[in-house]
């Protein structure tokens, strides 16, 4: 994995507004600058192109690829800093190696700034929380529920093992998750669409969200129930045309639509207990998969404050900083950063 510079603290989003037009008249002409001789509209286009190409990684245990000198433009001069303002916040891609890492960074940012973020990548791992003598594993949609104000254009989630949790993660994001308009759930393999549950394992898979159903038709139905069919929400599954790990799943020419169906006479319960036939070989299982979910037109998808969020209820605290402080104080021997260590090398 390519090693890149760790982002500096200056890469942290800030809600502090720029002075903008109120100071524009006071700037020196800067006639020697080719950039400043361009019309403001052209400069704004240049700024946008630059920031849309930038990604910033917040992860202490893995390198997810931060663009070198990501925000250097903002430090070139006060005029550029003022013209760009905080518009960059909604253009760069923020990448987090775990749900805990996401909360550690964004929960300390104002709701106003969080509402400006439009693109985010996060590992679809579980948020492990100690509870008495045991542990509780919260899903990503519950972690996102601790970020009121989140209103992403696109959320990209990287599937993390085991496959049954990956399947449940995307299911819960579809039927209960908020804070995003479009979801890209991407997996390095297709096993989360093909695993079987035998009779001996049934007790371990007692939650209905673990039991596979023919997809994407079942996910589509759940989204219709949530957003209404008239708003035209959609769910589509794509699989890479080859097992090459370098396949770009965003390239339509390198992927193909995928749809599962029941066999004649087969019930949904029987479907969950069998490997899906077309995904039995190693080459098929090792093929990348992408689930694209689009919320309905006009649907409110902004993450609202939810007092019934399971994490808030179980810990009896409202914000992640409060929850984190309480857990670290009560359970000092618990490794609160294990998630990022476990998934090192899994995310690509």
254-275 residues labelled b (16+ CB within 10 A) or e (exposed):
bbeebebeeeeeeeeeebbbee
At residue 147, φ and ψ (nearest 5 deg) are: -120, 70
**pLDDT at residue 30 in the model:** 78
Record the pTM: 0.86
* N- to C-terminal Cα separation, the chain: 8
**pLDDT at residue 279 in the model:** 73
Instruction: Give tens-digit pLDDT for 121-166.
Output: 999 999 999 988 889 999 999 999 999 999 999 999 999 988 889 9
**pLDDT at residue 118 in the model:** 98
Which range among 55-59, 163-167, 217-221, 266-270 has the greatest average pLDDT?
Answer: 217-221
Are 301 and 252 in contact by the 8 Å Cβ rule? The answer is no
**What does DSSP assign to residue 324?**
H
Q: Is the pLDDT of residue 17 over 50?
A: no
**pLDDT at residue 9 in the model:** 45
Q: Is the pLDDT of residue 347 over 70?
A: no
Instruction: Give tens-digit pLDDT for 224-236.
Output: 999 999 999 999 9
**pLDDT at residue 272 in the model:** 87
**pLDDT at residue 302 in the model:** 97
Mean pLDDT, the chain, integer:
86
SS3 of 227-240? HCHHHCCEEEEEEE
Instruction: Give tens-digit pLDDT for 286-334.
Output: 899 999 999 999 999 999 999 999 999 999 999 999 999 999 999 998 8
**Percent of the residues in the chain that have a pLDDT greater than 90, as a whole number:** 64
Q: Which residues pair with 154 in a beta bridge?
A: 119, 182
Q: Is the pLDDT of residue 196 over 50?
A: yes
Q: What is the mean pLDDT of residues 173-191?
A: 96
Which range among 1-5, 178-182, 270-274 has the greatest average pLDDT?
Answer: 178-182
Domain residue ranges of the chain, discontinuous segments joined by +: 51-65+88-240+257-342
In a 10 Å sphere around its CB, with 0-12 CB exposed, 13-18 middle and 19+ buried, how is residue 136 labelled? middle
Q: How confident is the model at residue 5 (pLDDT cuts 50, 70, 90)?
A: very low
């Amino acid at each position: 994995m390519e090693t890149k510079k760790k982002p500096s603290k200056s890469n942290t989003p800030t809600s502090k507004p720029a002075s903008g037009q109120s100071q524009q008249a006071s700037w020196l002409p800067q006639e020697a600058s080719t950039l400043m001789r361009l019309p403001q509209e052209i400069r704004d286009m240049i700024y946008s192109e630059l920031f849309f190409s930038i990604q910033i990684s917040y992860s202490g245990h893995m390198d997810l690829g931060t663009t070198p000198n990501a925000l250097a433009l903002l430090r070139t001069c006060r005029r550029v800093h003022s013209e760009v303002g905080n518009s960059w916040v909604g253009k760069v891609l923020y990448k987090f190696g775990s749900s805990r890492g996401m909360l550690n960074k964004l929960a300390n940012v104002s709701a106003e700034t969080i509402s400006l973020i439009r693109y985010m990548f996060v590992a679809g791992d579980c948020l492990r929380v100690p509870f008495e003598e045991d542990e509780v594993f919260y899903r990503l949609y519950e972690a996102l529920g601790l970020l009121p104000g989140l209103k992403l254009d696109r959320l990209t989630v990287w599937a993390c093992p085991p496959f049954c949790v990956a399947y449940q993660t995307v299911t819960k994001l579809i039927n209960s998750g908020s804070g995003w308009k479009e979801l890209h759930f991407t997996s390095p393999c297709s096993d989360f669409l093909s695993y079987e549950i035998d009779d001996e394992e049934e007790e371990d898979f007692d939650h209905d969200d673990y039991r596979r159903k023919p997809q994407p038709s079942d996910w589509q139905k759940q989204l219709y129930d949530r957003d209404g069919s008239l708003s035209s929400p959609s769910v589509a599954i794509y699989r890479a045309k080859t097992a090459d790990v370098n396949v770009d799943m965003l390239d339509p020419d390198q992927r193909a639509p995928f749809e599962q169906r029941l066999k004649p006479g087969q019930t949904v319960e029987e479907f969950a207990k069998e490997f899906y036939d077309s995904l039995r070989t190693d080459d098929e299982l090792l093929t990348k998969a992408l689930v694209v979910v689009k919320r309905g037109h006009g649907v409110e998808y902004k993450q609202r404050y939810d007092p019934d969020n399971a994490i808030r209820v179980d810990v009896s605290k409202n914000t992640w900083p409060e929850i984190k402080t309480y857990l670290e104080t009560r359970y000092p021997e618990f490794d609160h950063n294990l998630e990022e260590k476990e998934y090192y090398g899994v995310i690509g």
